[in-house]
């Protein structure tokens, strides 16, 4: 399945992930008690919104994939399965996770899970896009790594 996906498909999925991330962080901030965790949640929400804008802008310069199926619908099914396995894809994903947050530690754990899941998703997609578009994927990975570092720094200070 090499060179089946284009950066545009990955970025389109990332737009959905970032939108749901923004919803999660903005919604969960109201449930938190530690001012530093509230500040981080709001900052992460702003970062997700900014990443969404960056990713939407990236779409203009990326080509659409020329796909193939060994059976009808294979490509679409694979993309759907891959994107739905992410914690923040699908309708209501962010709201469902917010309902499970009962403490600042829960938020930090969920945020770390979200960022790691995004990094893993992007890392797995990178070999599936043409070499010319892999720098786009690497840029997305680096953005999410920065989020994870901030979450872990705060987690260490609070423990």
Cα torsion 42, 45, 46, 47: sign: positive
Q: According to the model, what pLDDT value does residue 3 have?
A: 46
Instruction: State whether the Cα torsion 147-48-2-72 is positive or negative.
Output: positive
What pLDDT is recorded for position 64? 58
- The stretches in the chain having pLDDT less than 50 are 1-3
If you write DSSP's letter for every residue of 144-158 in order, what string do you get? HHHHHHHHHHHHHHH
Whole-model pTM over 0.85 = no
H/E stretch holding 80? helix 74-84
Q: What's the CATH fold of domain 7-158? A: Ferritin (1.20.1260)
Q: Is 6 helix (H, G, I), strand (E, B) or coil?
A: coil
pLDDT value at position 2?
45
Domain ranges of the chain: 7-158
What is the predicted pLDDT for the residue at 120? 84
């Amino acid at each position: 399945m090499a060179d089946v996906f284009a950066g545009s498909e990955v970025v389109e999925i990332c737009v959905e992930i970032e939108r749901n991330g923004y919803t999660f962080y903005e919604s969960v901030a109201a449930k938190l008690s530690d001012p530093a965790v509230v500040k981080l949640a709001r900052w992460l929400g702003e970062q997700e919104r900014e990443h969404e804008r960056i990713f939407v802008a990236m779409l203009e310069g990326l080509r659409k994939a020329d796909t193939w199926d060994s059976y009808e619908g294979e490509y679409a099914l694979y993309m759907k399965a891959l994107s739905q396995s992410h914690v923040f894809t699908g309708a209501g994903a962010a709201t469902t996770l917010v309902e499970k947050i009962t403490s600042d530690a829960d938020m930090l754990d969920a945020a770390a899970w979200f960022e790691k899941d995004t990094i893993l998703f992007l890392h797995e997609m990178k070999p599936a896009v043409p070499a010319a578009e892999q720098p786009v994927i690497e840029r997305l990975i680096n953005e999410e790594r920065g989020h994870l570092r901030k979450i872990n720094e705060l987690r260490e200070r609070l423990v």
